[in-house]
Every structure is written in C-alpha cells, then in structure tokens.
A and B are shown apart, each in its own frame.
Chain A
Amino acid sequence: MRWRHIRGVLLQEMFVTIHSLEVVVDVFIFPLVNIFIFGLISAYIAGNDQVLAAHYVFLGMLLWQVIAITAYSVTVGSMWNIWSRNMSNMFIAPLQVREYIFAQFASGCVKALMLLVMGSLFSAWLFNFNVLEVGLLNLALVFLVFALFGFALALVILGIIFRFGTRLAALSWSLPWLFQPLAAAFFPIEELPKALQAVAYVLPPSYAFEAARNGLAYHVVDWPLFAAGVILALAYCVASVVVFKLFLKKSKDIGQFARNEA
C-alpha cells in the first residue's frame, strides 16, 4: 500500500466533508440530535427509579454511532464518487482497491471518534452523564469492535451497490440500523425474544454492548466478552472482504461497474 494513494483518498474525504452540508448533517448533526432525544428519554426513565436502565439506553445510543458512522462513511464516501461519475477516474489511476478501502475505513474511524468525543461532551454537559465511567479501556475495545463491524457491513453494502447498481444505494444509510435492536444496543441480550437472542449471539456488537454495560455497572473489563466480539468482528471483516471482492469482480465482468456511472 502506498501512502500517497491513501493520502489522496483521505484528502478527498476531507474536502467532501468540508464542502457538503449533507455529510456534516448526517455525520455530526443528526447523530447529536439522536443523542439528545435519547438523553431526554433516559432522563425520563431515570426519574422513574430506573437509573441503570436509563444509562444503558443512553450509552447504547452514544456508542451505536460508531457503527453507524463508520459504515456510513465508507459507503456514502464511495457513493459521492459514483454520483459524481468520478469512481472510474479513481480506479483508472494506479490506486489499489485495498488502498481505497483502507483510506475510507480510516476516514470513517476519524469521523466516528470525533462524533464520540462530541457526543460524550454533549451528554456530560446536558445530561450529566460521564461516558468515561465505562472505563477508557472498555471504550477503546468497544470502538475497535464497532469500527470493524461497521466496516464489514459497509464493505458488503458497497459490494452490493457495485454489483447491482445504485438503485440499492439506500442500503448505505438504512441497513446498519437493522442491527441496532438485534445487537441489543439498549438492553441486555436476555431481554430479546429467544429466537432473536440466537441472532444476537452471532453479531459482534452484542458482545461489546454487553461488555460496555458491565463496565458501566461494575467497572470491570469483561475480557471474554470482548475477545468474542473482536474475534467475531475480524471474522466478519474477512467474510466481507471475500464478498466484496466477488461482487466487484462480477461487477466488472458484467460491465455494471462502468454502467453505475452511466
């Protein structure tokens, strides 16, 4: 991988973010509004002597943004190139797909980290909720699992768009949210119906959410849960790379890659 290629894609991401109100709204404003709404809901729940439950809900919403923004950044970052009919220009340059994807992932992580910091300050200021009570190490591990999972999701979505066309672009900002209830973002996994618990156990974020809640409640680092989450997330990443490569190859075989910009 060549640094200047990666820097080129990172520069493009930065320029697009600076110039696009939609990106600023989607990546920063809308998530902060979400955090605000869930802060109010949590405050209401806490008022009914359900303080821990309220904190779980609020923490869930705050951390969920890492998955949502990582996935959004990778997919929508690429959609800007497709919408502008610039994707072909990118790949007739000596840019490797892996360099492009890595840069998009790095950009997503930076945006997610920025949002997490902003959201944490916001919740401390407005709702007196200190996310550091979860523990810095717990937060770092949660971020790792969520960023990897968001990246894996994004890669599959991107592969689908390359293969089947931009009519499926809506998956970019909708599909990740499907996993929010399934990953038990706001409540312990046991609260899910039995059938859905089985689904939750194959999703990496379920383990990280559970570990984060344990961190908040008991101030511990739940290594077994994090280990399961990281291993699963890495497995998802490997699988998503395979799926993406297959879809990309098929897209080029059937001419869809070029047609996406027609």
Chain B
Amino acid sequence: MHWQPRTSGGTFHGWDIMLRMTENVLEVRNLLKSYGAFRAVDDVSFSVPKGRVVGFLGPNGAGKTTTIHILLGITERSGGDIRYFGDDFTTHRLECLQRINAASAFNTLLGRITVLENLLVFADLYEVPNARQKIAELLERFEISHTSSSQYWNLSAGQRTRINLVKSLLNDPEILLMDEPTASLDPDIADKTLSIIEEMKRERGLSILFTSHNMSEITRICDEVIFLDRGRIVAQDTPRNLVKRITAATLRVAFDSDAKESVEPYLRGQGQEFKFAGTDSVEILTEEARIPELLFGMSHTGKRIIDIEIVKPTLEDVFLQIARTRI
C-alpha cells in the first residue's frame, strides 16, 4: 500500500481509509480550476472504483474536458487533490502515468508516419515489453491489422479511433480516461468500439472515466453518471436512478373511432396536458404513476382503446432538464 494518512492540513482524512477499502483507482477531492474569476471546475469530488465505468455528462463548457486534462496533468489545477491508486498525482506523477492511459476524439497520432511506427514510439514511452507482439495482438483484436503499414492520416475516422484505442491500451492501463472516444464515428463502428470497451472492463477489471454526448452510450456502459454544469457536479447516480428522477412520461392512446368528444372532457377533468392527433388518438403528458388510472378512466368513456404506447424518460431527458434548468 502506498497510501499514507495525512496527519494535518489536507482534505484526505479518516474517510480516506474507507475509500481505500473500496479499492478506488481514482479519487478526486475538491478539484478546482480557475481562470481569473471564472471557475471552469468548481469543487468537484468523485471517485472511480476498480472495474467501474463512470460517465461524465454535461453541456458544452460544463468542465468535462478540462477535468480530464487536469487528471492527465496537461492542465494544472488551481486546487484540490488527485490520487491514483492511493498515490498523490503531484508527487507520484510518473508512476501514475505509467498505470493510466487516455483516448480522445480530439487527439490524434502523427499523420505522417505509419500506424506501426506511431505505436512503436508509444511502446517505448510506456516501456512495453515485447512491443511488436503486443501491438500485433491489439491491432488484431480491433480488427485493424491491415492498417499497420499505412500512414495514419490515410485512415478513416473509424480506423483512427481504433488505433487511438490501441495506443491507449499498450501499457495495460488500470484506468482509462476517455474523452468522447466515439465522436464522429458511424453507429456500427461506435457499437464495435463500445463492445471492446465492455470486454476490457469485464475481462481485466478496467476502470474507465468516460465522457460523451451520446446518452445511449452512457446508459449502456456506465455504472455511474456524473452530471457537470458550469464546472459543478449537479447530479451523480446510476443511469437508472437518474432517469427515475424524472417522473413525467408520455402516454399515447389510439381509439377505434372518433373519441375526442368523449375523452377530451375526461382528460380536462383530470387536469392533464394532452394533444389530439386527429380525433381518434391522443398524446398525454403525465406522471408515470397516473398512467393506469388514466387508462382505466378513458376506457370508461365508452370508447374502445386499440393501441397504447408509453414513452418513458431517458437519460437525454435528464440531460435536457439539467441543461435548461438544473435538477
């Protein structure tokens, strides 16, 4: 164990011991980044346990990428503590960097040189043993062995993304920081990429900090989601629990004949927000819990219901609600 309890002056105290017991790969406490009076990251605290995927969500300018940059050491923080594997990132920077890696849609490799040459350079930087064999295995796994001798700039966006992922896995990292890794990929390649990430998590207990604007990706791979807005954490929970925070749902009901005259007064009486599409179908915005009651009530207006569709809230609705108001 590298961790040593602080006796005074720090923000890591007794609860640190508890964090250690849950095997947190990354611990961030009271992270702060100021540019003059503007706070890009404002008192952000979270942790990434071993083998878990934590998602960062938030509108543009929320502080996601700045946080990732700080966690990678390419932007200096104004305050707060960062610990990887229990070690302080400031004092054990090189040891930490040896055990982590990152992939971002915003960074690429050198375009002029070949894929293999790029990867050999990083294999040296990470001191990877049997570098050529390791590179060949990873290229094979990502189904891009044929790109090995191609210049990086001649590859498609999907191939580049997978090469970036190969680079990010060269050192068998224990935690991967991924900043919108699937941005600009077509759905098929994005799906394959996510599948590989899921496999890595399952097989190796890889921890991941993942940012994306794609809600379905976040819902699919993240165990926990952190919503950032204007540099602050505004919500933090599992995707399922976050979605539960929005209780509204949309109920679409179709009738076998004109129903407007009889159903409309009923819905008005219930104080519901609704909209008829023609005269034989209606869309009702309601609380999820009231749906059975409303269906029962409408079925007693003398009209026969022939189709029911319930549209439940998604993470995207949570995102929109946060972006527009704040939870």
A interface vs B, CB < 8 Å? 2, 4-5, 7-9, 11-12, 15-16, 19-20, 80-81, 84-86, 88-96, 249, 252-255, 257-258, 261-262
C-alpha spacing A16/B193, complex, angstroms: 29
Is B322 engaged at the interface, CB distance under 8 Å to the other chain? no
Query: What residues of chain B lie closer than 8 Å to A94, measured between beta carbons?
Result: 94-95, 97-98, 125-126
Q: Are B127 and A12 in contact (CB under 8 A)?
A: no
C-alpha spacing A7/B111, complex, angstroms: 20
Interface residues of B in 74-111 (CB under 8 A from A): 74-76, 94-95, 97-98, 100-102, 104, 106-111
Contact stretch, chosen from B44-52, B115-123, B219-227, B313-321: B115-123
27 contacts between A and B (CB under 8 A): A4-B124, A4-B125, A8-B124, A11-B117, A11-B124, A12-B110, A12-B117, A12-B121, A15-B110, A15-B113, A20-B112, A80-B112, A84-B111, A86-B109, A86-B110, A88-B107, A89-B107, A90-B125, A91-B74, A92-B72, A93-B125, A93-B126, A94-B126, A255-B35, A255-B40, A255-B75, A257-B75
Question: 4 smallest A-B Cβ distances: which pairs?
Answer: A8-B124, A93-B125, A15-B113, A94-B97
Query: What residues of chain B lie closer than 8 Å to A2, measured between beta carbons?
Result: 127
The smallest beta-carbon distance between A100 and chain B, in angstroms, is 9
Q: Are B107 and A85 in contact (CB under 8 A)?
A: yes
Contacting residue for A93 out of B40, B97, B104, B108, CB 8 A: B97
The smallest beta-carbon distance between A25 and chain B, in angstroms, is 14
Interface residues of B in 119-178 (CB under 8 A from A): 120-127, 151, 167
Q: Are B120 and A11 in contact (CB under 8 A)?
A: yes
Is B303 engaged at the interface, CB distance under 8 Å to the other chain? no
Looking at chain B's contact residues, is the secondary structure mostly helix, strand, loop, or mixed? mixed
Binary per-residue interface labels of chain B (34-64) against chain A in the complex, 1 for a CB within 8 Å, 0 otherwise: 0100001000000000000000000000000
Closest to B34 in A: A253
Closest to A80 in B: B110
